[in-house]
Structure formats: C-alpha cells, structure tokens
Amino acid sequence: MTITPSFSSSAPTARFPEETQSAANMNALRDGLAQSDPEIAAALLREEERQRRGLELIPSENYAFPEVLALLGSVFTNKYSEGYPGRRYYGGQENTDIVEELARERAKALFGAEHANVQPLSGSPMNQAVYLGFLEPGDPILAMDLSHGGHLTHGAPVSHMGKLFDFTRYKTDGEGHIDFGAVREAALRTRPKMIVCGHSSYPRDIDYRAFKEIADEVGALTMADVSHTAGFIAAGLLNNPMEAGFDFMTTTTHKSMRGPRGGLILTQKAHAKKLDASVFPGLQGGPHMNQVAATATTLKLVGEGAFKAYARQVLENAKALANALAARQIKLVTGGTENHLMVIDTEASFGMSGDEAQRLLDEIGLTTNKQVIPDDPRPPMRPSGIRLGTPAPTARGMGKSEMESIAAMIASALSADAGKREEMLPALAAEAEALCARFPVPGL
C-alpha cells in the first residue's frame, strides 16, 4: 500500500490507563527535530503514518508503551554506568543504581528467578553472554534447527556462534512438533555441554521439564530463549522454564512485553557472579541506562492486571486467526498455534513463495515477514512461508471478530487469480485502512 502522509496527529486512544501520557512531550521534541533535521523528521512522520494506517502482523513486533518511548529519549541516555549497582567505574550513579536495581528485582519477581541481569543491549548479545560465560570454544551444544523454528543465535551455520561452538540441531517431527525422542537420542549421542530451547517461529508451547530431564541425564546446562513468549510467561499463561529448574532464561524486552529493544537474562544464584562478569566486562561496556530505565518500567507494567488481560487476549486472538485461516483451507505449520504466532505454508496454500506473499500483503497494508518452513527447499530470501502474530493488533484493541476480517483479507489477496489480483488490491487496502482507523496505535 502506498501511503501519502497527511502529517496530522490523531488523539491517543487509551487501551491501558498509562497510554494517555507523554504525547505532549513527544510532540514538542518532534517539532524541534523538524527544525534541526527536516529529512529525518519527515521520515519519522511517514513512519508514524505507515504504522497508523497499516497493521503490523509480524509476531516479533509490537507497539511500545508510551512511557518506554519517553524513557528512551530521556537524560538517562547521557550517563555512562559501567559496572553494577554499588560497584560502578564512574561517579554520579545515585539514580542509575536505583533504576537498575528496580529492573533486576522486578524481573526476578515476575519470572521466579534468583538473579537477573538487565544490561544486555539486545537479544543476540544476551545469548552470546551465556555461551561465552559458561562454555569453551568447540564445546558441543544441542539446539533447535533454524528452519524448524529456532533462531540464528541457536547455532545457525551462518552465525558466529555457529562457527565458534559445535552445534547439533534437533528438528520437529512430521507434524511440526518437537520430537523429544529424537532430542534425547541426539543428546545421548553428542553429550552436549548445553541444551538450548526456545524459538522464533515455533507455534506451540514448550515442555521445559522434558528438556530438563534430558539435560540432567547427560549432565548438560539448560538455556531457554523465550524472547517471543516472555510476556505470556510473566502473565502465567505459558510454561515457565525457571519453574522447571532451568539454569538460564533469556528474553528480549520488546516483542510480547511492549518494552524497549533490549535483552534480559535470568538465572540461579550459583551462576550469578559468572554471568554478570560475562556480560560486563566480558562482552560489552557500559549499559544503555535509558534502555534499562525503560525495561524497569516495562516490567512494572507487565506485572499489572491490564497487561495480563492483554496477554490473554493476544493468545485468544492468535487461536481465532489461526482457526479462521484454516477454515479457508490455508495450511499452517503444526496445524495451528498455542502461542501468539503462526506460520502459513504459502507454497502449499497458494502456490507462491513467502517473499511474494509478503509483498502482496504489504500492498494492502498488512505487514508480515517471509519465513522458512521445516526443511524448506527454498532459499531464505525466497522461502515457502510467511509468519504472522497477534501482539500488535491486540495492543490496538482488536479482538476475535477483527481476526476473522484479517484472515479474509489475507485469503483474498493471496488466492486471487493473478490476472484479477491487481484490480482487487486497492479495495483490500481500503478495507485494511478502514479497520485500522477504528483502532488507533497506542500513543499516536
């Protein structure tokens, strides 16, 4: 969908009580930016308009709490804070220590952990900090194959971690579910020093206790990367790896939690000192204290009732969207979802690659991402699927009936005869924009 920005502001609609705050400050800062760098200001306004008029369906994307945006642009960005609360290498830390300690305590309380490190700059460094802090180069690791739902940092051959450590990659079964018999067999064969679970495109909850039993049998450490599902774990809606006795739980703080882009590591007290040393000074320098402050506030909001209701609605919406797609004979990896995401096999459903499906949906204002499917014969830039999720539309206040409308638009855009498709797309784009107009983006 081609968007011509109107550069007009709509009044913020509160989906949570706190979302009526910060708008005036943001507008003042934007006005100053327009004077100092009009090109960047124009791009910012166009992006606001794109987000307002279109719908984000990428499951790793969400709309940050307005407080998060305010803190990311706060004076905390001016402060170096190398070290940890009470043990910094720079003076003037009386406020940053408070912020980081609040973030750590809130994270521990939310997830039932004994120790938390809130300094990782993003998801990849947080996972690297665990590997590098507790393993030696060349050590064997058992982790999920990328095409079966894993992540680049779980040992994909193109990643640096995949070259530094000896990864064996487990896969799902013919129905797309984790095959624990095969996982155990691989563990007994390779004797990994660490077993990694978690995902970026696996549509099911995870049996962490089954992983822990296998790890205990071979004497392996356990790490769960819950970057996609942390918000639902915090709300008590999905399984919690810390309750299963995992050594490490890593997560990004945006995605399902609506926080800043950053990383968070939870662990047991026995690993605390070594983990902290791996993050700093082992892997990175001073933390970004504006990010840490935003994480602290995010963790407070995630612990409140309004967020728990939101998280529950995200999962209900995901099931509704998956059911509506399946009712239209659209094939989903694993046949459905137990979390917030789903993967459409576009090759089997529409005879088209995922990149082509992504492009067509972009034209009508539905933002998705092309996605490999298990053992995909296609290359990553032209895979056989697309990935969808419901965190962002739910943050706008959409419910089950809107999921039905979204499924209908997706089916119409992708199933239309090629000769008639170009005629249909403008009408579908108008329908998508009308839907979005009823549900404003939080804070815009």
Residue with tokens 């998801």: 123
Q: Which tokens in the block code for residue 75?
A: 């004076």
Q: Whose CA is closest to 130, among 72, 195, 73?
A: 195
What H or E segment, with its residue span, contains residue 3?
A: none
Q: Which tokens in the block code for residue 103?
A: 């973030």
Q: How far is residue 220's CA from residue 222's CA, in Å, rounded to a whole number?
A: 6
Q: How far is residue 340's CA from residue 389's CA, in Å, rounded to a whole number?
A: 5
Q: How far is residue 359's CA from residue 162's CA, in Å, rounded to a whole number?
A: 31
Q: How far is CA 240 from CA 113, 208, 266, in A?
A: 10, 8, 12
Burial degree of 175 (CB within 10 A; 0-12, 13-18, 19+): exposed
Burial degree of 49 (CB within 10 A; 0-12, 13-18, 19+): middle
DSSP line for 295-314: HHHHHHHHTSHHHHHHHHHH
Torsion, CA 432, CA 401, CA 355, CA 126, rounded to 10: 110
Q: Which residues are annotated as a binding site for (6S)-5,6,7,8-tetrahydrofolate?
A: 146, 150-152
**What long-range pairs does 95-104 form, CB within 8 A, spacing at least 24?**
96/289, 96/292, 99/289, 99/292, 99/293, 99/296, 100/287, 100/289, 100/292, 100/296, 102/296, 102/300, 103/292, 103/293, 103/295, 103/296, 103/299
Q: How far is residue 98's CA from residue 76's CA, in Å, rounded to a whole number?
A: 12
Q: Which tokens in the block code for residue 372?
A: 């490999």
Spell out the alpha helix ranges (H) of 303-417.
305-327, 346-350, 354-363, 391-395, 400-415
Residues in the chain: 444
Catalytic site positions: 80, 82, 225, 252, 255, 261
Gap between the terminal Cα atoms of the chain: 20
Task: For residue 264, give the 3-state DSSP assignment.
Answer: strand
